[in-house]
């Protein structure tokens, strides 16, 4: 049973409180007030309310920390070393279509690095968390990345560029290359949960481009604390700046990176 620090308890409590409204509204998507903020990128009243709840809970516990919020943007804090990075509803399109694959993602960035993360799937009631140096957990049970070493045995997950997102030609080359060598490819629609499932060994690897910091920040530390490696697809380490991510166990991560980079270069 993982012993949760006061910091993790604050994050988990905020996620659970925000999840109550999401669960209540899920399945009643026709009644939600929905506005369009970009191509294929929807924001609902439930999304905004969840963010407000999380912000209030975190600010009450750590009033000097800053915020980077999906909806409200950046809010400076007195403590410039610590910033909460929050996605109140990762997988909004799934949510609005009644697809039970979405999550709440909360990360603490300390000196510009992911220090602690919580990802909560309120429908499955699965809470993933990690804090720097303390390991990764799901509902109190220690989790580790998968042990498979060969891509031929791997099931990997990805995010497909949708309408309004760049990078389709290069991505299609990467997808084709991975299709030829893996046991299967999945696309679930929540980057945070994709990373959490890599940390839990359910997926052997994950790659995507065009992401934002709130999509990745919590998942990065959870995968790392579960024994995985997280880089850009190029091999760099500026995932939060570039929006490119590749996560897997050490052997699989290297193999996936070689295939993906070779495929993109060939385009």
| Sign of the dihedral through C-alpha 145, 147, 150, 153 | negative
Query: Among the listed ranges 33-42, 109-118, 169-178, 244-253, which one has the minimum average pLDDT value?
Result: 33-42
Distance from C-alpha of 237 to C-alpha of 254, rounded to nearest angstrom? 14
Question: Has residue 39 got a pLDDT over 50?
Answer: no
Distance of alpha carbon 226 from alpha carbon 232, whole angstroms: 18
State pLDDT tens for residues 161-190.
877 666 677 889 999 999 999 999 999 999
Q: What are the residue ranges of CATH 3.30.540.10 in the chain? A: 6-142
* 156 neighbors 185 (Cβ within 8 angstroms): yes
Ranges for all domains in the chain classified under CATH 3.40.190.80: 151-266
Reported as a pLDDT band with limits 50, 70 and 90, residue 40 is: very low
Alpha carbon 91 to its chain centroid, in Å, reads 10
- What CATH number matches the domain at 6-142, 3.30.540.10, 3.40.50.300, 3.40.50.10800, 3.40.50.1110? 3.30.540.10
Residue with tokens 């009243």: 45
Mean pLDDT of the 7-11 span = 97
pLDDT over 80 at 117, yes or no: yes
The hierarchical CATH code for the domain 151-266 is 3.40.190.80
**Which tens digit of pLDDT belongs to each residue from 46-71?**
889 999 999 999 999 999 999 999 88
**Cα–Cα dist 42/44, whole Å:** 7
Q: In whole angstroms, what separates CA 258 from the centre of its chain?
A: 23
Q: What is residue 36's predicted lDDT score, i.e. its pLDDT?
A: 59
For 131-154, the pLDDT digits (tens) are: 999 999 999 999 999 999 999 999
pLDDT at 30 over 60: no
Q: Copy the structure tokens of residue 146.
A: 């998968």
β-sheet bridge partners, residue 35: 43
Contact 5, 135 (CB under 8 A): no
Residue 42 reports pLDDT greater than 70: no
pLDDT of residue 43: 59
pTM, two decimals, is 0.92
pLDDT tier for residue 72 given thresholds of 50, 70 and 90: confident
- C-beta separation of 161 from 167 below 8 A: yes
Q: What is the DSSP letter of 244?
A: -
Q: Does residue 18 surpass a pLDDT of 80? A: yes
Average pLDDT over the chain reads 91
Report the C-alpha gap between 56 and 89 in whole angstroms. Answer: 16
Do 199 and 228 meet the contact criterion of CB atoms below 8 Å apart?
yes
């Amino acid at each position: 049973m993982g012993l949760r620090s006061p910091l993790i308890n604050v994050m988990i409590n905020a996620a659970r409180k925000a999840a109550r409204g999401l669960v209540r509204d899920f399945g009643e998507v026709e009644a939600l007030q929905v506005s369009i903020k970009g191509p294929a990128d929807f924001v609902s009243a439930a999304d905004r309310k969840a963010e407000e709840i999380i912000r209030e809970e975190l600010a009450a516990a750590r009033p000097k920390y800053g915020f980077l919020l999906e909806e409200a943007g950046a809010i400076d804090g007195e403590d410039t070393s610590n910033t909460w990075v929050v996605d109140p509803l990762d997988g909004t399109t799934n949510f609005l279509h009644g697809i039970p694959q979405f999550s709440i993602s909360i990360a603490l960035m300390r000196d510009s690095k992911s220090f602690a993360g919580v990802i909560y799937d309120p429908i499955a009631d699965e809470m993933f968390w990690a804090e720097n140096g303390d390991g990764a957990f799901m509902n109190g049970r220690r989790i580790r990345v998968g042990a498979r070493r060969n891509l031929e045995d791997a099931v990997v997950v990805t995010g497909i560029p949708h309408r309004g997102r760049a990078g389709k030609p290069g991505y299609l080359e990467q997808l084709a290359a991975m299709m030829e060598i893996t046991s299967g490819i999945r696309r679930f629609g929540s980057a945070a949960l994709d990373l959490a499932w890599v940390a839990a060994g359910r997926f052997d690897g994950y790659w995507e481009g065009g992401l934002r910091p709130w999509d990745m920040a919590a998942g990065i530390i959870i995968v790392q604390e579960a024994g995985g490696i997280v880089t850009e697809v190029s091999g760099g380490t500026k995932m939060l700046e570039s929006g490119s991510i590749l996560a897997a166990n050490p052997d699989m991560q290297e193999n996936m990176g070689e295939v993906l980079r070779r495929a993109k270069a060939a385009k």
